[in-house]
Amino acid sequence: MAKASARYVCQSCGAVFPRWAGRCDACGGWNTIAEEAGLSTAGPEGKSLGAKKGRKTALLPLAGEEAAPPRLSSGVGEFDRALGGGLAQGSAVLLGGDPGIGKSTLMLQAMAGWARNGAKTIYVSGEEAAAQIRMRAARLGVADSPLMLATETNLRDILTTLDAEKPAVAAIDSIQTLWADHVESAPGSVAQLRAAVHELVSFAKRREVALLLVGHVTKEGQIAGPRVVEHMVDTVLYFEGERGHQFRILRAVKNRFGPADEIGVFEMTGAGLSEVRNPSALFLGDREKRAPGAAVFAGIEGTRPVLVEIQALVAPSSLGTPRRAAVGCDSARLAMILAVLEARCGVSFGAQDIYVAVSGGLKVTEPAADLAIAAALLSSWRDKSTPAEAAFFGEVSLSGALRPAPQADARIKEAEKLGFTRILAPDKTKPLAGGTARLDLLETLDDLVNRFGRPPGHE
Ligand code: TYD
Ligand code: MG
pTM metric for this prediction: 0.80
- pLDDT tens digits, one per residue of 291-315: 899 999 999 988 889 999 999 999 9
Which of 101, 105, 266 for a ligand 1 pocket mutation test, highest count of atoms within 8 Å of Cβ?
105
100 alpha carbon – ligand 2 mean position (Å): 7
**Intervals of the chain under pLDDT 50:** 1-2, 40-42
Check residue 222 and give its pLDDT: 66
**Ligand minimally distant from the alpha carbon of residue 241:** 1
Q: Whose CA is nearest to atom 25 of ligand 1?
A: 272
- Domain 71-277 top-level CATH class: alpha beta
Of 335, 340, 298, 316, the C-alpha closest to 437 is 298
Q: Whose CA is nearest to atom 22 of ligand 1?
A: 272
104 alpha carbon – ligand 2 mean position (Å): 4
Check residue 7 and give its pLDDT: 84
Check residue 42 and give its pLDDT: 47
102 alpha carbon – ligand 1 mean position (Å): 4
Q: Whose CA is nearest to atom 23 of ligand 1?
A: 272
Check residue 40 and give its pLDDT: 46
Check residue 11 and give its pLDDT: 83
Q: Whose CA is nearest to atom 10 of ligand 1?
A: 100
Angle at 83 between CA 281 and CA 113, to 5 degrees: 90
Which of 268, 269, 274, 275 for a ligand 1 pocket mutation test, highest count of atoms within 8 Å of Cβ?
268
Q: Which sequence spans correspond to the domains of the chain?
A: 6-43, 71-277, 281-452
Instruction: Report which ligand 1 atom has the smallest distance to the Cα of 214.
Output: 6
If one looks up domain 281-452 in CATH, what number appears? 3.30.230.10
188 alpha carbon – ligand 2 mean position (Å): 15
15 alpha carbon – ligand 1 mean position (Å): 32
Instruction: Report which ligand 1 atom has the smallest distance to the Cα of 107.
Output: 2
Tell me which residues have their CB closer than 6 angstroms to ligand 1.
97, 99-105, 136, 139-140, 268, 270-272
Identify whether the C-beta of residue 133 lies closer than 8 Å to the C-beta of residue 108. Answer: yes
